[in-house]
Structure 1
Amino acid sequence: MTSNQPVFEDNDPQDELITLNIGPTHPATHGVFQNVVQIDGERIVSGVSTIGYIHRAFEKIAEHRPFYQITPLTDRLNYCSAPINNMGWHMTVEKLLEIEIPKRVQYMRVIVMELARIADHIICNGILGVDTGAFSGFLYVMQEREFIYEIFEEICGARLTTNIGRIGGFERDFNAVAFEKIREFLKRYPPVLKEFEEMFVRNRIFIERTSGVAAVTPEEALDYGWSGPILRATGVDYDIRVQNPYCSYEEFDFDVPVGATGDVYDRFMVRNEEMWQSLRIIEQALEKIEKEPKGVFHAEVPDFYLPPKEQVYTNMEALIYHFKIVMGEVDTPKAEVYHSVEGANGELGFYLIHDGGRSPYRLHFRRPSFVNYQMFAPMSAGMLISDAILNMSSLNVIAGELDA
């Protein structure tokens, strides 16, 4: 691995190294995971990463749950952008069942996923600013994340762990208030994002703290299986939405931002630009929805789509279908499928092996935080502790997605 910059030469080496625990409950980790580092003064000599502090055995639990009861598990992977997890799982099941999703539903999903991406990047870049000593920007953009949560609340009734949507579409159509809030967000967020950028992009202190820190080459990033914004920051323009489109992303006009050096500054810049591109995508999705038949919010698959709740209370057939779907009593094919979506941190994949029973025979989550984090310890050798903290923050490791 190439030496990370800046790597400091030690002109006064100590006879004994100090062992320091960063985590598992340290504010700088932004999650429950641990790094045991050997330090010489403030310079890290070596380190070992420890994970598993909030391992909840999601994959094993999924082997004993019908499809619908797995959706709440996905909420608790990357909980900063839970709707992307929900949609990815629903699309995996739809791929297994060969369900065709109406265009209007696909565009609605795109809106929700891009809003979730913006919310996630707000957290990451806002916290990165905090870790460099700038708290104001974080407080400023967090108001917009709360507004995104209000949109989610209008769509599905939940804010953080959303359990949003259904296999085949959504549980209900977006109401007028939801569309109004989405359009309001498109008007109010650009000036906020522009002001946020002005606080950091040309800020001398921020540049000196992040530029050249933890630089990674494209070859190293690919060797470690990186994906998402941190891979694109190295100059590799790999984006699932372009390479393997889903939800009709091939119909949208947007750019894939890439960096040049793969350092902390480039990761910040890539995420910022991705928020601008997400706004473009949402605008286009709203225009496309206007051209589609109104009132369509799910595919016509009564064997897998839950009937309306008011019918369940009054209609025996609806009650039977509700019970059969929730308990997994509907016949399903024996198959092996993999589906991935562009999560906020990278490629979020679902590898499903199904034997025709009521629950998966095997389900594996490809969690980008788990893959991306493995490089942190070797990257940290030679860094100052303060630079390693910024490096960790720029990786945006979410503990729920790390451990699952």
Structure 2
Amino acid sequence: MSTQPSGVAFASNSAEARQEIRNYTMNFGPQHPAAHGVLRLILEMDGETVQRADPHIGLLHRGTEKLAESKPFNQSIGYMDRLDYVSMMCNEHAYVRAIETLMGIEPPERAQWIRTLFDEVTRILNHLMWIGSHGLDLGAMAVFLYAFREREELMDVYEAVSGARMHATYYRPGGVYRDLPERMSRYRESKWRKGQSLKRFNEWREGSMLDYLEAFAADFPKRVDEYEVLLTDNRIWKQRTVGIGVVPPEKALAWGMTGAMLRGSGVEWDLRKKQPYARYAQVDFDIPVGVNGDCYDRYLVRVAEMRQSARIISQCVRWLKANPGPVIVDNFKVAPPSREEMKSSMEALIHHFKLFSEGYCVPAGETYCAVEAPKGEFGCYLVSDGANKPFRVHLRAPGFAHLSSMDEVVRGHMLADVVAMIGTYDIVFGEIDR
């Protein structure tokens, strides 16, 4: 009886048999923390090298588009927040712009500037979440804590205008819900914050929200410098990102990539410049572009975008401080009457109840409106048959288009590089499995 271990017997097998056994299949997700949602990635591996990647989606399917078709137009704005739940107001912007286009409504000038302001606040919020989570994926812990320090300061702004820290439902057809508040909430004394510490935390909060945002925009570039000290010239970070996941510009265009994925490959395309909306035509900013189209270039593009967003916020603050005015159209069909009007007018009271129960009818037609969301082009294709609810809503999510490139981009890379590639896509599955 042979005493050879079973492993020795394998050596006598044919080369063909060894070739068959060498490749194996691995499930990456859907529960993996680096999958950034319920992405199930089926990887065919040759040792540590990826031979094939098959992204599976559908595990989170929310039916958002069909839900929006079953409700009055104004009751679906909150669904938009929950699609890409770190780009909330940008999603709202595309949807309300589509409604306004079909109804022929032009929001007041101040409302347009407020939208421009909050689109950029949202862009910074998104990129802070991205740089923190991407750093965690690749082994950098500290940057996550730094990024959330600034993120919480901007979440206070969301809460101040809407009452919610995430799902704001602040944009409305015809403008925004209400004007910017004259004061910000302040920290109270506690065992963690007292004396000079409390005074420092409340320093920006002594004035209005615009004063607060002005101070934030002036201070934020120094915070971005801190992130760059941690990452940009860090040799481990560069080893994990330089030359990884290269997307040539012609491939980026063929795959329908937008946002930092497209600009990282050197294509200077940004809807804020090429098809301006809100008040982007009146603000001065640059479009950062990459050179090599790898993970490192996409990181640099997003970091530069945060700096440009702070620049836009400063310009919006200056205009809003100098130009008071209405923030929503004076039209009871789409905008609720004020409390004062409801107290003195039965007609205004009826309009209020009708607006929030039945909504409004949108003229028959179809339109597509897109915004430059933090992850890329987020668009809303809206069809109305003249009723008070959409006949068809279809949403163009940037992450959905980006995932189609996964197989070709990661082939030949190591398993750890797949994590870097998923992170650089900046995917959120609420919008992909909408």
Using the size of structure 2 for normalisation, the TM-score is 0.87
Deviations 1:108-139 (A, max 9, x none): 11111100000101111222222221100111
Give the C-alpha shift of residue 71 in structure 1: 0.3
From 344, 349, 362, the counterpart of 1:319: 349
Contact 1:13–1:40 (8 Å) recurs in 2: no
Within 2, Cα distance between the matches of 1:91 and 1:226? 22
Within 2, Cα distance between the matches of 1:197 and 1:67? 43
Deviations 1:257-283 (A, max 9, x none): 000111100110000000011011111
Give the C-alpha shift of residue 161 in structure 1: 1.4
Q: In the alignment, is residue 266 of structure 1 matched against residue 297 of structure 2?
A: yes
Give the C-alpha shift of residue 59 in structure 1: 0.9
Within 1, Cα distance between the matches of 2:253 and 2:212? 39
Give the C-alpha shift of residue 98 in structure 1: 1.0
Structure-1 residue corresponding to 2:269: 238
Alignment RMSD:
1.6
Contact 1:88–1:350 (8 Å) recurs in 2: yes
From 156, 173, 182, the counterpart of 2:213: 182
The gaps in structure 1 that reach 5 residues or longer are 1-11
Contact 2:73–2:359 (8 Å) recurs in 1: no
Contact 1:328–1:359 (8 Å) recurs in 2: no
Give the C-alpha shift of residue 328 in structure 1: 4.0
Structure-1 residue corresponding to 2:177: 171
Structure-2 residue corresponding to 1:162: 168
Structure-1 residue corresponding to 2:330: 300
Partner SS for 1:225: coil
Structure-2 residue corresponding to 1:363: 393
Give the C-alpha shift of residue 367 in structure 1: 0.7
Give the C-alpha shift of residue 226 in structure 1: 0.4
Within 2, Cα distance between the matches of 1:63 and 1:314? 35
Q: 1:4-15 maps to which residues of 2 (within 5 A)?
A: 15=21
From 132, 141, 144, the counterpart of 2:150: 144
Q: 1:10-29 maps to which residues of 2 (within 5 A)?
A: 15-29=21-35
From 204, 216, 225, the counterpart of 2:235: 204
Contact 1:14–1:40 (8 Å) recurs in 2: no
C-alpha distance 175-46 of structure 1, shift in aligned 2 (>3 A):
same
From 384, 399, 412, the counterpart of 1:354: 384
From 187, 205, 226, the counterpart of 1:195: 226
Deviations 1:94-119 (A, max 9, x none): 11111112221111111111000001
**Residues 127-136 or 224-233, more deviating:** 127-136
Q: In the alignment, is residue 337 of structure 1 matched against residue 367 of structure 2?
A: yes
**Residues 263-272 or 175-184, more deviating:** 175-184
Structure-2 residue corresponding to 1:32: 38
Give the C-alpha shift of residue 38 in structure 1: 1.0
Q: Which amino acid aligns with 1:209?
A: R
Structure-1 residue corresponding to 2:112: 106
C-alpha distance 329-201 of structure 1, shift in aligned 2 (>3 A):
closer
Structure-2 residue corresponding to 1:372: 402
Give the C-alpha shift of residue 353 in structure 1: 0.8
Q: 1:383-402 maps to which residues of 2 (within 5 A)?
A: 383-402=413-432
**Residues 216-225 or 85-94, more deviating:** 85-94
- Greater gyration radius: 2
**Residues 304-313 or 32-41, more deviating:** 304-313
Within 1, Cα distance between the matches of 2:419 and 2:321? 46
Within 1, Cα distance between the matches of 2:255 and 2:96? 28
Within 1, Cα distance between the matches of 2:221 and 2:424? 22
Q: In the alignment, is residue 217 of structure 1 matched against residue 265 of structure 2?
A: no
Contact 2:98–2:369 (8 Å) recurs in 1: yes
Within 2, Cα distance between the matches of 1:313 and 1:158? 27
Using the size of structure 1 for normalisation, the TM-score is 0.93
Contact 1:241–1:341 (8 Å) recurs in 2: yes
Deviations 1:342-370 (A, max 9, x none): 00110000111111001111111001111
C-alpha distance 287-13 of structure 1, shift in aligned 2 (>3 A):
farther
Contact 1:332–1:356 (8 Å) recurs in 2: yes
Q: Which amino acid aligns with 1:68?
A: N
Within 2, Cα distance between the matches of 1:360 and 1:309? 29
C-alpha distance 378-174 of structure 1, shift in aligned 2 (>3 A):
same
Within 2, Cα distance between the matches of 1:53 and 1:319? 44
Give the C-alpha shift of residue 301 in structure 1: 2.1
What percentage of aligned pairs have identical amino acids?
A: 36
C-alpha distance 199-99 of structure 1, shift in aligned 2 (>3 A):
same
Q: In the alignment, is residue 41 of structure 1 matched against residue 72 of structure 2?
A: no
Q: Which amino acid aligns with 1:339?
A: C
Q: Which amino acid aligns with 1:63?
A: E
Contact 2:383–2:392 (8 Å) recurs in 1: yes
Q: Which amino acid aligns with 2:381?
A: Y
Give the C-alpha shift of residue 329 in structure 1: 5.0
Contact 2:218–2:310 (8 Å) recurs in 1: no
Q: Which amino acid aligns with 2:132?
A: G
Deviations 1:24-64 (A, max 9, x none): 11111021110011111111111211101111111111111
Structure-2 residue corresponding to 1:67: 73
C-alpha distance 39-393 of structure 1, shift in aligned 2 (>3 A):
same
Within 2, Cα distance between the matches of 1:331 and 1:359? 7
Q: Which amino acid aligns with 2:139?
A: G
Within 2, Cα distance between the matches of 1:13 and 1:221? 34
C-alpha distance 146-238 of structure 1, shift in aligned 2 (>3 A):
same
C-alpha distance 64-217 of structure 1, shift in aligned 2 (>3 A):
same
Give the C-alpha shift of residue 15 in structure 1: 3.1
Q: In the alignment, is residue 123 of structure 1 matched against residue 129 of structure 2?
A: yes
Contact 1:115–1:278 (8 Å) recurs in 2: yes
How many residue pairs end up in the alignment? Answer: 392
Give the C-alpha shift of residue 213 in structure 1: 0.0
From 295, 311, 316, the counterpart of 1:280: 311
Structure-2 residue corresponding to 1:6: none
Give the C-alpha shift of residue 309 in structure 1: 5.0
Q: Which amino acid aligns with 2:130?
A: C
Within 1, Cα distance between the matches of 2:345 and 2:95? 29
Give the C-alpha shift of residue 311 in structure 1: 5.1
Within 1, Cα distance between the matches of 2:359 and 2:420? 49
Within 2, Cα distance between the matches of 1:308 and 1:82? 26
